[in-house]
Amino acid sequence: MSYLSGISVFVEAADAGGFSAAAERLNLSRSAVGKTVAKLEQRLGVRLFHRTTRTQSLTDEGKLFYENCLRALSEIRAGEALLESGKQEIQGRLRISMPVHFGRQCVMPLLSELLRLHPRLEFDLNFSDRNVDLVEDGFDLAIRTGPLRDDPELMTRKIADQRMTVCASPAYIALNGAPGTIEDLMKHQAILYRRSGQPLAWSFPVSAGQPRTITPPARLRLDDLTSIADAAADSFGIAWLPCWLVGSRIASGSLVRLLTNTPARSYGAYVVWPKTQYMPPKLRLLIDILAARLPPMME
């Protein structure tokens, strides 16, 4: 138990942005939080926080450990939710909105599994890339990707990170060569995703400052991600797509990852739901399962 206690205190300190705020949340003293984190650092043999007299921030090792701890705690919460659901019947309807492609490929298999486990559970699903108004449109939960707007009426929980990858077909690479740098992409034909009438720029993290953002030249601009993957496999150009969408094509060899030494951009996936003092068991179960099961599907 002390092992898990140290991890939970570390995660709380990371979430709260410092030891003092974590101490208030946990009803502990600041020194108790600091000592718990120090013991954890000693056991792991790494420094998890940069410390000053007033602030604490995660080190690179701390960020890596934090992400893994979140996954582990999500698994534990999901297990607890499943056990709890076995003690009481999970029933009733949930209205859920989710992005079209992400919903079909990543979320639906998990929802289908829950339906099989709980015969009296019902889902009313909306597949749309439009951000619905949960309160006005009567949704219990929405799954959203990318940056979120602050909304005091909504609760939010991050459930996964979507990594992006640059890819092309072997035939395209044989004919045009492979880009070695981000700048080399401007010498190639791209297949761009068009959203709200405008092509989406490709973004790459850098060591400091703003992400490196480019819009390569393109003959094809499409508003459907699967069609972009199809066009890339047909050698019409280079694509920038989520790993979960092209993983099977890369495994089969119809697409090849490019710029593998360049850091990949990640976009958060979140669940949002109307703020309430009481969370129904069916909603809690769904959120815990998504948080536990989605991250491995994002690779």
Coil/strand/helix, residue 297 = helix
159-191 pLDDT, tens per residue? 888 999 999 999 999 999 999 999 999 999 999
The answer to whether position 286 is within a domain reads yes
Same domain? For 241 and 276 the reply is: no
77 band by pLDDT with thresholds 50, 70 and 90: low
Its domain, for residue 173, covers 162-266
Residue type, 283: L
Number of structural domains (the chain) is 3
CATH, residue 151 = 3.40.190.10
Same domain? For 167 and 262 the reply is: yes
Phi, psi of 237 (to 5 degrees): 155, -175
Neighbouring-strand partners of residue 218: 190
Average of per-residue pLDDT across 94-98: 95
Same domain? For 145 and 112 the reply is: yes
Same domain? For 232 and 260 the reply is: yes
Average of per-residue pLDDT across 84-110: 85
Residue for token pair 């068009």: 194
Between 30-34, 65-69, 166-170, the lowest mean confidence (pLDDT) is in 65-69
Same domain? For 141 and 61 the reply is: no
pLDDT in the model for residue 1: 47
Q: Express as a percent the part of the chain with pLDDT over 70.
A: 92
Contact yes or no for 61/275 (Cβ under 8 A): no
